[in-house]
Amino acid sequence: MILLVDMDAFFASVEQAHHPHLRGRPVIVCGDPSRRGVVTAASYEARPFGVRAGMPLGEARRLCPKAEYVEGNPEKYVALSVKLLDLYLRYSPDVEPFSVDEAFVGLQRGTTMEHAVEIAREIQSAIEATFSLGASIGVGPNKLIAKMASGVKKPRGLTALDEESFRGVFWPEEVQSLWGVGPRLATRMRSLGIQTVGDLAHAPVHALKGAFGIIGPQLIEAAWGRDDTPLTPCHRPPDPKSMGHEVTLSEDSEDVAFLEGTLLRLSDQVTRRLRTEGYAGRVVAVKLRNRYFVTVIRQRALSSHTQEARRVFEVARELWRANWSGGPLRLIGVTVSDLEAAPDAGQIELFEGNRRDDRLNRALDRVRDKLGDSSIVPAGSLAHRRELGHVPFGVRPNPFSKNRSSGA
């Protein structure tokens, strides 16, 4: 079963939720209300006056003079859209955003229509309770039916259709009401005598193929409520392509020992992140920027993937030595790319004979997980941090702490 969650008058509803004095009143979301523009969104209270998205503001003011005009805030709506997707993920890992205010939620194979309706009701209640917003949900055996069902009753509607009931509801409707049929396609269909969704369902396949090519037979299938389009969950963060750390030095420096210590600490930080997030990388890059903002990036591939600071540092140091002209540096960075998932570092390092290093890294990680990233640092980077009198990485030490003498 698939759900399609469609937020009701999303932009306007968000403004009404955030500004309670607007609730129950006609609200029109637009650009700058003091300038010419168009309606971006209208609340349900404004729609009976004939106000629609895309309408010029002047016309909207004539139709609905008592409306409250609110300048839209796209970042706010997108941020809320992401929070809604997180809410859907509580019910299923298969969430596919369709637009800023719509998303498909795929339920487990074998879920009955009754259970899907229960879940849809829970989602509606959760949206109301968490965000003070309304949503209409369509329930169906495929994306097409779920999408079209969501528009049957609004606002705060919940419509569940199987293929048979889909046909009962939509076959009498104009052919343009079928998802995927726009005005121009509908005009061409009407010229062929196809007025309704039911007409399309019974149109000869060869005629549709001749008129519309490969999509002809697909449209007929859709008119029967059949759709095998897969749900593509994409509300997941993409796998990272690289991980890196860089630091702009508090003072430009050409101190070899200091720069080497900084590279060591950066390598340590990058590999800790790799281990924490379960990746290993094979290409090490170093970034050097001088006081004139001239930036050099050089990289080299290792023979195998690694999560080890020592291996990354050795390559980073070679690259730095080979490409640094000796002048003061302003910024230095280390990046590891060509990542692959590596949940068990032991597997990676086993054949490199570095089991001891692996155990050491994991022990260090456990200490840092408990006491913070700056609780243990490579010795080569420690002296320079003290000289600078600040902490370029990790938490700033509390000068009033009783443990000050323990240093890093």
Partner 1 sequence: MFESLNDPVDVLSAFVEGRIEPIRFRWQGRIVRVTRVTGRWTRREGQSRLQYFALEDSSQGTYELFYDPRGPRWVLSRAWVAGSGG
Give the range of 72-80, 109-117, 137-145, 371-379 binding partner 1 by CB under 8 A: 72-80
- Binding status of residue 79 toward partner 1 by CB under 8 A: yes
Is residue 247 involved in binding partner 1 (CB under 8 A)? no
Binding mask 105-144 for partner 1 (x = CB under 8 A): ---------------------------x------------
The SS3 assignment for 259 reads helix
Q: Residue 29's beta-bridge partner residues? A: 41, 70
Residue 74 sits at the vertex; the CA angle it makes with 72 and 78, to the nearest 5 degrees, is: 140
Nearer to partner 1, 125 or 130 (CB): 130
Nearer to partner 1, 76 or 241 (CB): 76
**Sheet holding 94-99: strands in order across?**
94-99, 102-106, 2-7, 135-140, 158-160
Q: Does 18 bind partner 1 (CB under 8 A)?
A: yes
70 or 119: CB nearest partner 1: 70
65 binds partner 1, rule: CB under 8 A: no
Residue 39 found at the interface with partner 1 (CB under 8 A): no
User: Does the protein bind partner 1 through residue 395 (CB under 8 A)?
Assistant: no
Regarding 71 and contact with partner 1 (CB under 8 A), the answer is yes
> Which among 15, 45, 68, 102 is annotated as catalytic?
102
Q: Is 387 considered catalytic here?
A: no
The residue among 45 and 68 lying less far from partner 1, judged by its C-beta, is 68
Question: DSSP letters along 261-329, please?
Answer: HHHHHHHHHHHHHHHHHTEEEEEEEEEEEETT--EEEEEEEEEEEE--HHHHHHHHHHHHHHH--SS-E
H/E segment holding residue 246: strand 242-253
Radius of gyration of the chain (CA): 30
Is there binding between residue 101 and partner 1 (CB under 8 A)? no
DSSP for 56-79, please give it: BHHHHHHH-TTPEEEE--HHHHHH
What is the separation of C-alpha 71 from the centre of its chain, rounded to a whole number of angstroms? 25
Name the one range near partner 1 by CB under 8 A: 62-70, 94-102, 224-232, 314-322. Answer: 62-70
- Is there binding between residue 25 and partner 1 (CB under 8 A)? no
d(CA 107, CA 95): 9
Nearest-angstrom CA–CA distance, 378 and 383 = 10
Of 111, 227, 214, 223, residue with least CA distance to 175: 223
Binder to partner 1 among 2, 46, 70, 144 (CB under 8 A)?
70
Backbone angles phi, psi at 34, to 5 degrees: -85, -5
Q: Is 251 in the site for partner 1 (CB under 8 A)?
A: no
Q: What is the DSSP string of 340-358?
A: EE-S-HHHHHHTTT-HHHH
CB of 237 to partner 1, least distance (A): 15
Q: Which is nearer to partner 1, 19 or 115 (CB)?
A: 19
Residue written as tokens 């609730």?
A: 23
Q: Is 237 in the site for partner 1 (CB under 8 A)?
A: no
Q: At closest approach, how far in Å is the CB of 358 from partner 1?
A: 33
Q: Which is nearer to partner 1, 33 or 97 (CB)?
A: 33
Residue 82 CB, nearest distance to partner 1 (Å)?
9
Query: Residues in contact with partner 1, total (CB under 8 A)?
Result: 17
Beta strand 329-337 with 158-160 is unpaired
Q: Which stretch binds partner 1 (CB under 8 A): 12-20, 104-112, 193-201, 256-264?
A: 12-20
Q: Would you say 343 and 278 are in contact if contact means Cβ atoms under 8 Å apart?
A: yes
Among the listed residues 75, 164, 228, 251, the single contact to partner 1 using CB under 8 A: 75
Residues involved in catalysis: 102
Sites of contact with partner 1 (CB under 8 A): 14, 17-21, 33, 68-71, 75-76, 79-80, 83, 132
